[in-house]
Copies of this chain bind each other. A is one copy, B any other.
């Protein structure tokens, strides 16, 4: 009679989840991965979808294809509705799923920090749906602007305010500026592109605060040259349908506020009876176990952990490393070995600012700027895009755009909750 195999349930289809599943592929366990979507989103390139630079399909990969060669891993497309960490059962839209070990990596959502109107009137950029909705909205603004007789309203339609000067904010501002100055300028010959404003608001004193001084200076110079208006020490006090209001009284008339300002743990997790920390995240032990629930591991953005007194960042490489570490600790736990604490290996930070320009800080030691940094960025992102066919199509598409300065993704395609119809 075969021994009963341990059941490991993984909740989510992000970086941490998939790498955890991969790491368990040769272990004597049965793995079930649950997610409400049947695809994995390559989040680091989501901003390019919002800027009509990549097709949504280029950064989404079917989970079943990714898992296909892992014989002990199954997938179920289902909505997780609850968790009983004591009884070890996950409640889903398809019924109850019992587990022996759980890896929780439902990721993060946008943090509006309680700014009034921000959640209602700004565009987040965390999911594929949100990326498509933002793209549709931006293209729709141009379509409406060209037959808007009132110049104030036209100005408001053509003002795009990005909140947050971290990598996502800077990268999206750069990509949007290139979209405007390139393809949209050609598409809307009757429109004066000088009327278009791309604004980047940052609450602190500088952009990309995680990077060293030299790279920050380069980025600031580059961003300035791309006609992006940067406002530092600009704190958003509220957002309305027609404007973003700043502390100090200023306000900017706009129909497009893109909120890249913060992240917090997935909302529904708070009701699951696990000990919650700051920012709606679970303060895990160094072994990645949830305090009090030794069979529950938490990885990725949802896990809050400090190392050498500093909180770990919410980035994809960390999630990958934690997914692998949690899988290994489950193996140790099953075979009765002592668990090992997680240590983050920081590979560095990068941001791309536009065509041929990026900043890269590798292993927190080597700093690169300009074209060479862009090539490194391109190489790493292509290498990491799961699925070789996607990589292949992304490269051919990019090569095309690079040679012909063209983007043909400027489609206002239907999406749920997207603002896409002309008013």
Listed in ascending order, the chain A residues whose CB lies under 8 Å from chain B are: 36-39, 55-57, 60-62, 64-65, 68, 74, 76-79, 93-95, 128-129, 132, 139-140, 143-144, 146-147, 183, 186-190, 387, 389-390, 392-393, 396-397, 400, 404, 406, 408-416, 421-423
In the complex, the chain B residue whose C-beta lies closest to that of A68 is: B186
In the complex, besides A36-B422, A57-B408, A77-B412, 10 extra interface pairs with C-beta distance below 8 angstroms are A37-B412, A38-B411, A65-B187, A68-B187, A76-B143, A79-B421, A94-B147, A393-B396, A396-B396, A415-B415
A187: chain B residues at CB < 8 Å are: 62, 64-65, 68
Query: Does A62 contact B411, Cβ atoms closer than 8 Å?
Result: yes
In the complex, the chain B residue whose C-beta lies closest to that of A146 is: B76
In Å, the complex CA distance between A393 and B183 comes to 19
Query: Does A408 contact B94, Cβ atoms closer than 8 Å?
Result: no
In the complex, the chain B residue whose C-beta lies closest to that of A184 is: B64
In Å, the complex CA distance between A186 and B70 comes to 12
Instruction: Name the 3 nearest CB pairs between A and B, nearest first.
Output: A64-B187, A77-B143, A414-B416
Q: Distance (Å) between the CB of A127 and the closest chain B CB?
A: 9
Query: Does B411 contact A147, Cβ atoms closer than 8 Å?
Result: no
> Can you pick out 14 interface pairs between chain A and chain B where the beta carbons lie within 8 Å of each other?
A39-B413, A62-B410, A64-B188, A65-B406, A65-B408, A65-B410, A77-B412, A93-B423, A94-B147, A94-B422, A132-B413, A390-B408, A396-B396, A415-B415
Query: Does B416 contact A415, Cβ atoms closer than 8 Å?
Result: yes
Q: Distance (Å) between the CB of A207 and the closest chain B CB?
A: 32
Query: Known interface pairs A64-B410, A412-B38. Does A389 touch B400 (Cβ–Cβ under 8 Å)?
Result: yes
Q: Distance (Å) between the CB of A172 and the closest chain B CB?
A: 20
In Å, the complex CA distance between A70 and B93 comes to 53
Q: Distance (Å) between the CB of A157 and the closest chain B CB?
A: 13
Q: Which of A36, A95, A128, A422 gathers the greatest number of chain B CB atoms within 10 Å?
A: A422
In the complex, the chain B residue whose C-beta lies closest to that of A396 is: B396
Query: Does A93 contact B422, Cβ atoms closer than 8 Å?
Result: yes
Q: Distance (Å) between the CB of A249 and the closest chain B CB?
A: 35
In the complex, the chain B residue whose C-beta lies closest to that of A60 is: B411
A404: chain B residues at CB < 8 Å are: 389
A414: chain B residues at CB < 8 Å are: 128-129, 132, 415-416
A68: chain B residues at CB < 8 Å are: 186-187, 189
In Å, the complex CA distance between A186 and B93 comes to 25
A94: chain B residues at CB < 8 Å are: 144, 147, 422
Query: Known interface pairs A389-B406, A396-B392. Does A422 touch B64 (Cβ–Cβ under 8 Å)?
Result: no
In Å, the complex CA distance between A423 and B95 comes to 10
Q: Distance (Å) between the CB of A72 and the closest chain B CB?
A: 12
In the complex, the chain B residue whose C-beta lies closest to that of A41 is: B411
A410: chain B residues at CB < 8 Å are: 38, 62, 64-65
A76: chain B residues at CB < 8 Å are: 143, 146-147
Q: Distance (Å) between the CB of A53 and the closest chain B CB?
A: 12
In Å, the complex CA distance between A108 and B115 comes to 47
In Å, the complex CA distance between A55 and B421 comes to 22
Query: Does A38 contact B139, Cβ atoms closer than 8 Å?
Result: yes
A77: chain B residues at CB < 8 Å are: 140, 143, 412, 422
In Å, the complex CA distance between A57 and B94 comes to 32
A132: chain B residues at CB < 8 Å are: 413-414
In the complex, the chain B residue whose C-beta lies closest to that of A387 is: B408
In Å, the complex CA distance between A64 and B60 comes to 27
In Å, the complex CA distance between A405 and B140 comes to 38
A38: chain B residues at CB < 8 Å are: 139, 143, 410-412
A60: chain B residues at CB < 8 Å are: 411, 413
In Å, the complex CA distance between A188 and B146 comes to 49
A387: chain B residues at CB < 8 Å are: 408
In Å, the complex CA distance between A390 and B64 comes to 27
In the complex, the chain B residue whose C-beta lies closest to that of A406 is: B389
